[in-house]
Amino acid sequence: MFCKHCGSQIDDDSVFCPRCGAVQTAPVQVQPVPVQQETTNVLAIVGFVLSFFVTIAGLICSIIGLKRAPQLGGKGRGLAIAGIIISAVSMALAFILLIVLFALYDSLPYNPFLYS
């Protein structure tokens, strides 16, 4: 290698340059740029968050996130399952609410919307 200070050729394992005495720090290892890897299960997180607001989108994202979890070493698996459960529960609640509303609407003896 070459001295960082004076540029003269020195041994690769030299700590000091024999010519100028400059301290040779450990050579900077050129690391190959790692391929951008997904380290977090983004879809599981997105699915989990969306399941509170946009149930269908949350459910889809959570299912995809769950499918991708094994490739990510199981990351986001719990989150994806939680997203699916929340989506399913909120869909079920919305469905029940709709049925209850329709039932109430029919059973009302006096409907202010119809007879006002």
Between CA 10 and CA 94 the distance in angstroms is 75
Stretch that binds Zn ion, among 11-19, 41-49, 67-75, 108-116 (CB under 5 A): 11-19
- Cβ proximity to Zn ion: between 1 and 99 the closer is 1
| Least Å from the CB of residue 79 to Zn ion | 55
| Least Å from the CB of residue 30 to Zn ion | 22
Between CA 13 and CA 16 the distance in angstroms is 9
- Residue 76 CB-density burial (10 A; 0-12 exposed, 13-18 middle, 19+ buried): buried
- Cβ proximity to Zn ion: between 24 and 41 the closer is 24
Between CA 3 and CA 7 the distance in angstroms is 4
Q: Are 5 and 22 in contact (CB under 8 A)?
A: yes
Stretch that binds Zn ion, among 15-23, 31-39, 48-56, 93-101 (CB under 5 A): 15-23
Which residues are near Zn ion by CB under 5 A?
3, 5-6, 17, 19-20, 22
